Amino acid sequence: MRISKQILIQFTVALSVLFAPCMAAQAVERFKPFVLAWRGTAVFATKVNEVKQSLEDAGFQIVANVAPYPEDAYLDDLRILVFTSPQLKRFAARSPYGGFAAAQRVSISRLGDDIQVSYLNPTYTAHAYRLGSDLKEVTKQLASALGRIETFGSEKGLTEQALRTYHYSFGMEYFDEPYELANFSSYSQAVEQVETNLGRSADIGVEPVYRIDIPGRDVTVIGVTLRGEGEKRKYYDDHWIMDNVDFKELHTTAYLPYEIMITGSRVIALSMRFRMAVYHPDLTMKGQDSFMNIIPSPLAVKNALTAAVGGTATKHAGM
Domains within the chain, CATH numbers bracketed: 34-309 (3.30.310.70)
pLDDT given at position 21: 53
| Whether residue 11 has pLDDT greater than 50 | no
Calculate mean pLDDT across residues 213-235: 94
pLDDT given at position 229: 86
Range in 13-27, 81-95, 104-118 the model is least confident about? 13-27
Model pTM above 0.75: yes
pLDDT given at position 1: 47
Calculate mean pLDDT across residues 240-248: 92
**Looking at residue 233, what DSSP letter applies?**
G
Task: For residue 301, give the 3-state DSSP assignment.
Answer: helix
The strands making up 258-263's β-sheet, listed across from edge to edge, are: 179-183, 266-269, 258-263, 219-226, 206-213
Calculate mean pLDDT across residues 140-148: 98
**Separation of alpha carbons 270 and 97, rounded Å:** 9
Calculate mean pLDDT across residues 11-35: 65
The answer to whether the beta carbons of residues 70 and 78 sit under 8 Å apart is no
pLDDT given at position 258: 98
Range in 6-15, 31-40, 158-167 the model is least confident about? 6-15
| Whether residue 230 has pLDDT greater than 90 | no
Confidence label for 70 from pLDDT (cuts 50, 70 and 90): confident
- Greatest alpha-carbon span in the chain: 86
Point out which residues pair with 213 in neighbouring strands: 220
| Whether residue 14 has pLDDT greater than 80 | no
Give the residue from 250, 238, 82, 75 showing the smallest Cα distance to 153. 250
Confidence label for 61 from pLDDT (cuts 50, 70 and 90): very high
Q: Distance from CA of residue 286 to its chain's centroid?
A: 23
Calculate mean pLDDT across residues 179-208: 96
Confidence label for 28 from pLDDT (cuts 50, 70 and 90): confident
177 Cβ partners below 8 Å, 6+ apart? Answer: 271, 274
pLDDT given at position 318: 43
| Whether residue 273 has pLDDT greater than 80 | yes
pLDDT given at position 18: 52
The answer to whether the beta carbons of residues 35 and 119 sit under 8 Å apart is yes
Say what percent of the chain tops pLDDT 90: 79
| Whether residue 316 has pLDDT greater than 70 | no
The answer to whether the beta carbons of residues 285 and 274 sit under 8 Å apart is no
Confidence label for 162 from pLDDT (cuts 50, 70 and 90): very high
CB neighbours of residue 80 within 10 Å: 24
| Whether residue 319 has pLDDT greater than 50 | no
pLDDT given at position 13: 46
Question: Phi/psi zone of residue 264: left (φ > 0), alpha (ψ -120 to 50 degrees), beta?
Answer: left
pLDDT given at position 5: 53
Calculate mean pLDDT across residues 115-122: 98
The answer to whether the beta carbons of residues 309 and 221 sit under 8 Å apart is no
Question: What's the mean pLDDT when you consider all of the chain?
Answer: 90
Of residues 27 and 300, more confidence is placed in 300
